[in-house]
Amino acid sequence: MNKVFFYAIVTLLLFSCNKKEEYTSLYNYENGEELSAGKLTTTILGVNAFDQKVPGLSQLDGRSFFVGNSLFRQNWVSSPASTTARDGLGPTFNARACSSCHNKDGRGKPLETGQKFSAGFLMRISTSGIGAHGGPKTLTNYGGQIQEHANLGVSYEAKVSVTFKTIKGTFTDGESYELKEPIYTISDEQFGSLQNALTSPRVGQQVIGLGLVDAISNNDILANADEFDADNDGISGKANYVWDVVKNQTVLGRFGWKANQPNLKQQVAGAFSGDMGLTTSLFPDENCPSPQQDCQKFPNGGLPEVTDEALTDIMIYSSSLSVPIRRNFKDENVLKGKQIFKDMKCNSCHTEVFTTSNNYPANKTLENVTIRPYSDFLLHDMGDALADNRPDFKATGKEWRTQPLWGVGLIDEVNNHTFLLHDGRARNIEEAILWHGGESEASKEAYKNLTKEDRTAVLGFINSL
Amino acid sequence: MKKVLGLSLLLTSAFFMSCSDDDPIVISPETVIENAKTTFVSNYVNIVEANYNDALAKTKDLQTAINAFVAAPDAAKLATAKQSWLDAREPYGQTEAYRFYDGPIDGADFGEIEGNINAWPLDEALIDYVADGTGGQEASDNRQNIVNNITEYPNFTKEILRNLSGYSENESNVTMGYHAIEFLLWGQDATAPSAKLAGQRPFTDFTTKENSERRKQYLKLATEILVEDLEAVTKQWKSGAQYRTEFLALSKNDAIDKILTGAAKLSNGELSGERMVTAVVNQDQEDEHSCFSDNTHRDIYLNAKSINNIINGSYTKVDGTKISGTSLLEVLTLVNAAEAVTLTTTATTVMAKVKVISDAKFFDYQIIGETKDNNNKPVMSAVTSLEKQGIELAQAGKTITGNNIDSEV
Rounded-to-integer distance, Cα A179 and Cα A160, Å = 21
Q: What is the pLDDT of residues A72-100, one digit of tens each?
A: 988 887 777 666 777 888 889 998 889 98
Q: How far, rounded to the nearest angstrom, does the alpha carbon of residue A399 sit from its chain's CA centroid?
A: 15
A43 to B408: CB separation less than 8 angstroms, yes or no: no
B278 to A53: CB separation less than 8 angstroms, yes or no: no
Q: State the average pLDDT for chain B.
A: 90
Confidence of residue A451 (pLDDT cuts 50, 70, 90): very high
> Residue range B98-107: average pLDDT?
93
Provide the number of CB pairs (under 8 Å) joining chain A to chain B: 130
Return the pLDDT at B146. Answer: 87
Distance from CA of B384 to the nearest CA of A (A): 9
Confidence of residue B403 (pLDDT cuts 50, 70, 90): confident
Distance from CA of B37 to the nearest CA of A (A): 24
Rounded-to-integer distance, Cα A16 and Cα B309, Å = 54
Candidates A35, A44, A295, A311: best to mutate against B (most CBs of B within 10 A) is A44
The half-sphere exposure of B177 on its side-chain side, counting CA atoms within 13 A, is: 24
C-alpha closest to that of B92 among B190, B199, B230: B230
Q: What is the pLDDT of residues B153-165, one digit of tens each?
A: 888 899 888 877 7
Q: What is the pTM of this model?
A: 0.87
For residue A63, give the nearest of B170, B173, B277 by CB distance: B277
Contact B121, B173 (CB under 8 A): no
Torsion region of B234: left, alpha or beta (phi above 0 gives left; psi -120 to 50 gives alpha): alpha
Confidence of residue A252 (pLDDT cuts 50, 70, 90): very high
Higher pLDDT, B112 or A205: A205
Return the pLDDT at A303. Answer: 86
Contact B66, B220 (CB under 8 A): yes
B133 to A80: CB separation less than 8 angstroms, yes or no: yes
Confidence of residue A1 (pLDDT cuts 50, 70, 90): very low
Q: H/E/C letters for each residue in chain A?
A: CHHHHHHHHHHHHHHHHHHHHCCCCCCCCCCCCCCCCHHHCECCCHHHCCCCECCCCCHHHHHHHHHHHHHHHCCCECCCCCCCCCECCCCEECCCCHHHHCHHHCCCCCCCCCCCCCCCEEEEEEEEEECHHHCEECECCCECECCCEECCCCCCCCEEEEEEEEEEEECCCCCEEEEEEEEEEEECCCCCCCCCCEEEEEECCCCCCHHHHHCCCHHHHHCCCCCCCCCCCCCCCECEEEEECCCCEEEEECECCCCCECCHHHHHHHHHHHHHCCCCCCCCCCCCCCCCHHHHHCCCCCCCCCCHHHHHHHHHHHHCECCECCCCCCCHHHHHHHHHHHHCCHHHCCCCCEECCCCCCCCHHHCCCEECCCCCCCEEECCCCCCCCCCECCECCCEEECCCCCCHHHHHHHHCCCCECCCCCECCHHHHHHHCCHHHHHHHHHHHCCCHHHHHHHHHHHHHC
Q: How far, rounded to the nearest angstrom, does the alpha carbon of residue A356 sit from its chain's CA centroid?
A: 18
Q: What is the ipTM of this complex?
A: 0.84
Statement: residue B143 has pLDDT above 50? no
Return the pLDDT at B139. Answer: 47
Confirm or reject contact between B151 and chain A (CB < 8 A).
no
CB crowding B143-167: b at 16 or more within 10 Å, else e: bbbbbbbeeebeebeeeebbebbbe
The kind and range of the H/E element at B315 are strand B314-316
Weakest mean pLDDT among A122-131, B104-113, B299-308, B373-382: B104-113
Statement: residue A35 has pLDDT above 70? yes
Q: At what angle do helices B328-335 and B378-401 cross, to 10 degrees?
A: 60
Contact B197, B308 (CB under 8 A): no
Distance from CA of A291 to the nearest CA of B (A): 19
Rounded-to-integer distance, Cα B304 and Cα B97, Å = 9
Other C-beta atoms lying within 10 Å of the C-beta of residue B26: 10
SS3 B151: coil
Residue of B nearest to A60 (CA): B373
> Residue range A432-449: average pLDDT?
98
Backbone CA torsion sign across A243, A248, A249, A252: negative
> Residue range A18-24: average pLDDT?
55
Higher pLDDT, A20 or B45: B45
Statement: residue B150 has pLDDT above 60? yes
Measured between beta carbons, the chain B residues lying within 8 angstroms of A83 are 133-135, 284, 286
Cis (ω within 30 of 0) for the bond into A304? Answer: yes
Share of chain B above pLDDT 70, in %: 89
Confidence of residue B7 (pLDDT cuts 50, 70, 90): very low
Weakest mean pLDDT among A164-173, A340-349, B37-46, B126-135: B126-135
Q: Which residues contact A17 (CB under 8 A, 6 or more apart)?
A: none
Backbone CA torsion sign across B189, B191, B196, B199: negative
Statement: residue A14 has pLDDT above 60? no
Contact B158, B263 (CB under 8 A): no
Residue of A nearest to B136 (CA): A77
Rounded-to-integer distance, Cα B107 and Cα A273, Å = 35
Return the pLDDT at A117. Answer: 59
Weakest mean pLDDT among B56-60, B73-77, B127-131: B127-131
Statement: residue B172 has pLDDT above 70? no
Statement: residue B169 has pLDDT above 80? no
Q: State the average pLDDT for chain A.
A: 91
Rounded-to-integer distance, Cα B226 and Cα B222, Å = 6
Weakest mean pLDDT among A79-88, A387-396, B327-336: A79-88
Rounded-to-integer distance, Cα B206 and Cα B215, Å = 7
Rounded-to-integer distance, Cα A369 and Cα B100, Å = 27
> Residue range A362-375: average pLDDT?
97
Return the pLDDT at A170. Answer: 98
Measured between beta carbons, the chain B residues lying within 8 angstroms of A46 are 102, 107-108
- CB burial of residue A261 (10 Å; 0-12, 13-18, 19+): buried
Other C-beta atoms lying within 10 Å of the C-beta of residue A8: 10
Residue of A nearest to B277 (CA): A63
Measured between beta carbons, the chain A residues lying within 8 angstroms of B102 are 46
> Residue range A379-398: average pLDDT?
97
Return the pLDDT at A9. Answer: 43
A60 to B108: CB separation less than 8 angstroms, yes or no: no
Contact A100, A122 (CB under 8 A): no
Q: What is the pLDDT of residues A278-287, one digit of tens each?
A: 999 999 998 8
Q: What is the pLDDT of residues A175-220, one digit of tens each?
A: 999 999 999 999 999 999 999 999 999 999 999 999 999 999 999 9
Higher pLDDT, B108 or A3: B108
Measured between beta carbons, the chain A residues lying within 8 angstroms of B383 are 63
Rounded-to-integer distance, Cα B33 and Cα A219, Å = 54
> Residue range B136-149: average pLDDT?
63
Weakest mean pLDDT among B12-16, B191-195, B273-277: B12-16
C-alpha closest to that of A73 among B264, B120, B364: B120
Return the pLDDT at B284. Answer: 84
> Residue range A144-149: average pLDDT?
92
Q: What is the pLDDT of residues B272-331, one digit of tens each?
A: 999 999 999 999 888 889 999 999 999 999 999 999 999 999 999 999 999 999 999 999
> Residue range A99-116: average pLDDT?
89
Backbone CA torsion sign across B308, B310, B312, B315: positive
> Residue range B391-399: average pLDDT?
96
Distance from CA of A74 to the nearest CA of B (A): 5
Q: What is the pLDDT of residues A116-130, one digit of tens each?
A: 556 789 999 999 999
Rounded-to-integer distance, Cα A18 and Cα A10, Å = 12
Measured between beta carbons, the chain A residues lying within 8 angstroms of B199 are none
Statement: residue A2 has pLDDT above 60? no
Contact B201, B144 (CB under 8 A): no
C-alpha closest to that of A38 among A342, A322, A386, A413: A322
Torsion of CA B133, B137, B138, B143, to 10 degrees: -70
Confirm or reject contact between B167 and chain A (CB < 8 A).
yes
Return the pLDDT at B104. Answer: 97
The kind and range of the H/E element at B381 are helix B378-401
